[in-house]
Amino acid sequence: MDTANYTIAAYIRLSLEDNNIDKGKPESNSISNQRELIKNYIENNSDFCNVRYLEFTDDGYTGTDFNRPGYQRMIESARAGEINCIIVKDLSRLGRNHIKTGELIEYIFPFLGIRFISINDMYDSQKVKDTSRIEIGFKNLMNEFYSRDLSEKIKKVKMLQMKKGYTLWYPAYGYKKTPEDKHKIVIDDETAKIVKRIFSMKQDGKGCTEIARILNNEGIPSPGKYRKIGNGSEDRFWRKNSVYSIIKNEVYTGATVCHKTQTVYISGVGTKKVKTKKTERIIVPDTHDAIIDKETFKNVNDGIKIRIKTKKSERNLLSGKIKCRSCGRLMYSTSNKNYYCAVSRVTGNFECFRKTIKNEELKKQIVKEFNVLMNGNSNAEKAAAAAEKKSKSEHRKTIDAYENKIKRLKTDKFLLYEKLVGKEIFEADYIEKSGELNNEIQKLEKELNIYIFQNKNPEKSTMNIPDKLDTAEDLTRELIDMIIDVIYIDKDGKAEIVWKNQFERRDQK
DSSP string, 399-430: HHHHHHHHHHHHHHHHHHHHHHHTT-S-HHHH
Predicted local distance difference test score (pLDDT) of residue 161:
63
Predicted local distance difference test score (pLDDT) of residue 136:
54
Structural domain spans, the chain: 7-150, 175-311, 360-508
Q: Lowest mean pLDDT: which of 293-302, 367-376, 443-452?
A: 443-452
- Contact between residue 13 and residue 70 where contact means Cβ atoms under 8 Å apart: yes
Q: Which whole number is the average pLDDT over 427-455?
A: 74
pLDDT digits (tens, 9 = 90+) for 93-108: 888 776 677 778 877 8
- 283 bridge partner residues: 257
Residue scoring higher pLDDT (472 or 419): 472
Q: Which whole number is the average pLDDT over 188-208?
A: 91
Specify burial of residue 490 (Cβ count, 10 A radius: 0-12, 13-18, 19+): middle
Residue 492's Cβ-side half-sphere holds a number of Cα atoms within 13 Å equal to 2
pLDDT digits (tens, 9 = 90+) for 312-355: 444 577 888 888 887 777 887 776 678 888 777 676 655 777 78
Amino acid at 373: L
To the nearest 10 degrees (0 to 180), the angle between helices 69-79 and 427-454 is 100
Predicted local distance difference test score (pLDDT) of residue 499:
84
Amino acid at 335: S
Q: Residues near 101 by Cβ (< 8 Å), separated by ≥ 6?
A: 91, 94, 95, 140, 143
Q: Lowest mean pLDDT: which of 24-38, 48-62, 379-393?
A: 379-393
- 277 bridge partner residues: none
Q: Which whole number is the average pLDDT over 194-208?
A: 91
Predicted local distance difference test score (pLDDT) of residue 252:
92
> For residue 486, is pLDDT > 60?
yes
Predicted local distance difference test score (pLDDT) of residue 12:
94
Contacts 24+ apart (CB under 8 A), 478-483: 480/317, 480/318, 480/321, 480/366, 483/370
Distances (CA, A) of 466 to 244, 381, 397: 44, 10, 25
Predicted local distance difference test score (pLDDT) of residue 338:
82
Alpha-carbon gap, residue 47 to 333, rounded angstroms? 75
Residue scoring higher pLDDT (429 or 2): 429
Phi, psi of 207 (to 5 degrees): -85, 165
Average pLDDT, the chain: 76
> For residue 278, is pLDDT > 80?
no
> For residue 229, is pLDDT > 60?
no
Specify the pTM: 0.42
* Nearest in space to 13 (alpha carbons), one of 73, 69, 58: 58
Alpha-carbon gap, residue 166 to 160, rounded angstroms? 9
Q: Which whole number is the average pLDDT over 504-509?
A: 42
- Calculate ∠ Cα 338-344-345, nearest 5°: 75
Alpha-carbon gap, residue 505 to 477, rounded angstroms? 22
Q: Lowest mean pLDDT: which of 18-32, 182-196, 197-211, 364-378?
A: 18-32
pLDDT category of residue 134 using cuts at 50, 70 and 90: very low
pLDDT category of residue 230 using cuts at 50, 70 and 90: very low
Q: Residues near 64 by Cβ (< 8 Å), separated by ≥ 6?
A: 95, 96, 97, 144, 147, 270, 271
Q: Do domains 7-150 and 175-311 have the same CATH topology?
A: no
> For residue 199, is pLDDT > 90?
yes
pLDDT category of residue 152 using cuts at 50, 70 and 90: low
- Contact between residue 111 and residue 455 where contact means Cβ atoms under 8 Å apart: no
* Nearest in space to 291 (alpha carbons), one of 436, 191, 144, 439: 191
Q: Lowest mean pLDDT: which of 249-253, 336-340, 478-482?
A: 336-340
User: What percent of the chain has a predicted confidence (pLDDT) above 70?
Assistant: 70
Q: Which helix (H) or strand (E) holds 374?
A: helix 359-375
Predicted local distance difference test score (pLDDT) of residue 26:
44
- Contact between residue 331 and residue 340 where contact means Cβ atoms under 8 Å apart: yes
Predicted local distance difference test score (pLDDT) of residue 138:
47
Strand, helix or coil for residue 282: strand
How do 85-88 and 115-118 pair as beta strands? parallel
Predicted local distance difference test score (pLDDT) of residue 320:
83
Q: Residues near 234 by Cβ (< 8 Å), separated by ≥ 6?
A: 224
> For residue 247, is pLDDT > 90?
yes
Q: Which whole number is the average pLDDT over 430-448?
A: 79
Instruction: Find the radius of gyration of the CA atoms of the chain.
Output: 31
Alpha-carbon gap, residue 285 to 271, rounded angstroms? 31
Q: Lowest mean pLDDT: which of 123-137, 373-387, 433-447?
A: 373-387
Alpha-carbon gap, residue 154 to 156, rounded angstroms? 5
Alpha-carbon gap, residue 167 to 161, rounded angstroms? 8
CATH superfamily of 7-150: Resolvase, N-terminal catalytic domain (3.40.50.1390)
Amino acid at 188: D
Predicted local distance difference test score (pLDDT) of residue 403:
87
Q: Which whole number is the average pLDDT over 131-160?
A: 54
Alpha-carbon gap, residue 493 to 183, rounded angstroms? 52
pLDDT category of residue 297 using cuts at 50, 70 and 90: very high
Q: Residues near 366 by Cβ (< 8 Å), separated by ≥ 6?
A: 472, 475, 480, 484, 497
pLDDT category of residue 198 using cuts at 50, 70 and 90: very high
Alpha-carbon gap, residue 111 to 425, rounded angstroms? 12
pLDDT category of residue 91 using cuts at 50, 70 and 90: confident
Q: Which whole number is the average pLDDT over 299-323?
A: 67
* 368-399 b/e (C-beta count within 10 Å ≥ 16 → b): eebeebbeebeeeeebbeebbebbeebbeeee
Q: Which whole number is the average pLDDT over 223-237?
A: 59
pLDDT digits (tens, 9 = 90+) for 60-84: 888 777 888 999 999 989 888 899 9
Predicted local distance difference test score (pLDDT) of residue 20:
44
* 433-465 b/e (C-beta count within 10 Å ≥ 16 → b): beeebeeebeebeeebeeeeeebeebeebbeeb
> For residue 38, is pLDDT > 60?
yes
Predicted local distance difference test score (pLDDT) of residue 85:
95
Q: Residues near 299 by Cβ (< 8 Å), separated by ≥ 6?
A: 203
> For residue 461, is pLDDT > 70?
no
Predicted local distance difference test score (pLDDT) of residue 57:
93
Hey, which CATH number is domain 175-311, 3.90.180.10, 3.40.1160.10, 1.25.40.10, 3.90.1750.20?
3.90.1750.20
